[in-house]
Amino acid sequence: MVHAPNRPPAGAPPVRINLYSDTQTRPTPAMKEAMMRAEVGDEQHGDDPTVHELCDRMAALMGKQAAMYLPSGTMCNVIAILTHCGKGDEVIAHETSHILHSEGGTHAALTGVQIMPMKGPRGMFTADDVRAAIRPKTRYAPPQRLLEVEQTANIGGGAIWPLAQLNAVAEVAHEQGWSTHMDGARLMNACVGAGIAAKDMVAHYDSVWLDFTKGLGAPLGAVLCGDEEFIGRAWRWKQRLGGSMRQAGICAAACIYALDHNIDRLAEDHANAKALARGLRQIPGVVVEEPDTNLVFFDIRGAGMTVEQLQAKLAMRGVAVSGLGGRVRACTHLDVTAPMIEEAVSEIRTALAAA
Ligand SMILES: Cc1ncc(COP(=O)(O)O)c(C=O)c1O
């Protein structure tokens, strides 16, 4: 039986403070208005004007030649890997990466690549680590084809790769003739957090995608960017996988709305995450990682409770958090306010005191 991760226990009240994930935001009335007004066409035929507008804006934002609208971030990763690599190729990625842990075994099932899991603190590795991972080009070794990074690194604690490190690992990859791909599920959090423009952040990456369903608050969709030739080949995979859509402009309009209204405000989520970390740090037995962005990871083993026990106790109080990599993860996003943060700290303190 494959379970849904976030089902509240029987008898739990409705969730009033949702720190489970930044994917759980609800479209605002203004975003829905924008969706209702969208001009639409047949996206699969290339004539949805709103999807074109979104793709043009994304290509410009990322400083790439072209962009493609897709239903999800997972599909962006899968299509990018299928476009860059062939079966039996190797992808260099961090051992905590989403492509390794959270895409349903897609590489064994679909892409046929293998992943070399790189080590390093906070979901990152260095140029020296990449050099050490280079295999001899013999008939024995898998051909290495792609380097993949996550900006921000999710299980890495929402950490922002420093620009110099991001560029340095890409440089080694390009020296080897590999391509580079960025999983930008939370790229705009990194850009706002570091004060760096997206096109500068991704300049050394051949492909990059941004998710609109995380901090940006849209109900669905992600946009994959790259050069014309890459996006042209990626379209073949979009078609094959059933990712070509029809009147998708209705959803693309929500993404355009998010570009206009929900990027700068990510700074509020980061401030709320810092406030949450400060509050949690006052609770005996709780070890908190300092957040760079909107993800707060904390270890409660010292407080004598498991992640699942804490989740269950909080759920009965209408507070949702998730567990990831053996730690508790609390996400801030546009449906979480500063007073909710104070309340969440108090609920977590009370729950842990019962241990
Ligand atoms: C780092 C990272 N990559 C990829 C994804 C997949 O995105 P989606 O849920 O849109 O398929 C997620 C989703 O949580 C993520 O956190």
How would DSSP label each residue in 225-246? EE-HHHHHHHHHHHHHTT---S
pLDDT band at 5 (very low <50, low <70, confident <90, very high): low
Cα-to-centroid distance, 103 and ligand 1 (Å): 9
> Is 322 close to ligand 1, i.e. is its CB under 6 Å away?
no
pLDDT band at 324 (very low <50, low <70, confident <90, very high): confident
Compute how many other C-beta atoms are within 10 angstroms of the C-beta atom of residue 59: 21
d(CA 230, CA 226): 6
Cα-to-centroid distance, 279 and ligand 1 (Å): 28
- Mean pLDDT across the stretch 162-170? 98
Is pTM beyond 0.85? Reply is: yes
Q: What is the dihedral of CA 57, 70, 253, 33, to 10 degrees?
A: -150
Percent of the chain with pLDDT over 90: 95
List, for residues 202-213, the tens digit of each pLDDT value.
999 999 999 999
Give me the pLDDT at residue 325, please.
Answer: 75
Give me the pLDDT at residue 10, please.
Answer: 84
pLDDT band at 3 (very low <50, low <70, confident <90, very high): low
- Mean pLDDT across the stretch 28-38? 98
pLDDT band at 100 (very low <50, low <70, confident <90, very high): very high
> Is 222 close to ligand 1, i.e. is its CB under 6 Å away?
yes
Pair of tokens at residue 186: 């939370």
23, 25, 74: which to mutate for ligand 1, most atoms within 8 A of CB? 74
Full set of structural domains in the chain with CATH: 17-26+265-353 (3.90.1150.10), 38-261 (3.40.640.10)
> Is 98 close to ligand 1, i.e. is its CB under 6 Å away?
yes
Mean pLDDT, rounded, of the chain: 96
pLDDT band at 8 (very low <50, low <70, confident <90, very high): confident
